[in-house]
């Protein structure tokens, strides 16, 4: 998880300057605070139960709606998604055959409807040596991994940095969508939470476009990808 940071950024002001806490600032200028905070952590609301890959789940993309409006943001706050972490997984018996360089993708939509807007996209290569892996044993009721008996999985949190992708002017919709995508077939799966999350906030693309899972008959509770989401926000004044 990204370490929360805070810093003071100074806008152009008068023609002379001074030193303050090691930073050169312009006298009479406007002080702004930029900080990072957790917008969502799946482990706060659910637990790992399954692992799904493109070949097992037959879906191209899976997404959730994140409601950032509850954070009480003031109108003068500029904000954007700064990073997304996903728990990627490799079945234990497939580790010896795994080839580095497979791609995973995360998309951020500045809307709660991914059909209405183009996403910000980051692709990441998965190279095993770059990540810290943990061996997980999935429960007997793992719906997808259980199809092939792959209950033992190595998992690692993979970080997607969006600071160079989403402009500093920020995002607009406080209900936004974060999507996990499989650009390539392969052995990489994504960890999934227990089947206890809202289907009304879960979009999936099975190859025929996005569909909200609450519109599918009998879908009352859904599993969500194991996600962690960081948001950067900037506002006038000093950091507390």
Per-residue pLDDT of 157-166, as tens digits, reads: 999 999 999 9
* 218 half-sphere exposure, CB direction, 13 A CA radius: 0
Instruction: Collect all residues with Cβ–Cβ distance below 8 Å to 103 and sequence separation of at least 6.
Output: 123, 124, 125, 126, 183, 184
Distance between CA atoms of 154 and 146, rounded to whole angstroms?
15
Q: Residue 77: what pLDDT?
A: 83
Cβ count within 10 A of residue 106: 29
Cβ count within 10 A of residue 193: 22
Q: Quote the distance between the C-alpha of residue 183 and its chain's center.
A: 16
Radius of gyration, alpha carbons of the chain: 20
Distance between CA atoms of 156 and 144, rounded to whole angstroms?
19
| pLDDT of residue 57 exceeding 70 | no
Distance between CA atoms of 28 and 10, rounded to whole angstroms?
10
Distance between CA atoms of 6 and 31, rounded to whole angstroms?
13
Tens-place pLDDT, residues 58-101: 788 999 999 987 455 666 789 999 999 999 999 999 999 899 99
Which among 58, 73, 160 has a CA at the least distance from the CA of 119? 160
Q: Residue 28: what pLDDT?
A: 54
| pLDDT of residue 150 exceeding 50 | yes
Tens-place pLDDT, residues 22-55: 333 344 566 888 888 899 999 999 999 999 987 6
| pLDDT of residue 15 exceeding 50 | no
Q: Residue 12: what pLDDT?
A: 32
Which among 137, 109, 128 has a CA at the least distance from the CA of 201? 109
Share of the chain above pLDDT 90, in %: 60
In the predicted model, what is the mean pLDDT of residues 174-194? Answer: 91
In the predicted model, what is the mean pLDDT of residues 197-216? Answer: 91
């Amino acid at each position: 998880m990204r370490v929360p940071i805070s810093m003071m950024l100074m806008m152009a002001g008068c023609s002379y300057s001074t030193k303050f806490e090691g930073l050169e600032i312009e006298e009479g200028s406007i002080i702004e605070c930029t900080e990072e905070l957790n917008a969502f952590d799946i482990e706060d609301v659910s637990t790992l139960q399954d692992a799904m890959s493109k070949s097992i789940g037959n879906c191209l993309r899976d997404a959730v709606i994140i409601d950032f409006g509850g954070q009480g943001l003031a109108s003068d706050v500029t904000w954007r998604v700064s990073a997304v972490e996903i728990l990627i997984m490799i079945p234990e018996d497939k580790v010896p055959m795994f080839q580095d360089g497979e791609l995973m993708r995360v998309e951020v939509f500045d809307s709660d409807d991914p059909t209405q807007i183009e996403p910000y996209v980051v692709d990441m290569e998965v190279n095993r040596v770059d990540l810290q892996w943990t061996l997980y044993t999935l429960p007997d009721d793992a719906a997808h991994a259980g199809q092939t008996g792959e209950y033992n999985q190595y998992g690692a949190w993979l970080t997607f940095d969006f600071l160079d992708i989403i402009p500093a002017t920020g995002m607009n919709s406080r209900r936004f969508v974060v999507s996990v995508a499989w650009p390539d077939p392969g052995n990489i799966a994504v960890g999934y939470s227990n089947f206890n999350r809202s289907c009304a906030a879960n979009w999936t693309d099975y190859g025929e476009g996005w569909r909200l899972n609450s519109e599918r008959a009998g879908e009352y509770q859904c599993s969500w990808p194991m996600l962690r989401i960081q948001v950067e926000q900037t506002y006038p004044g000093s950091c507390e």
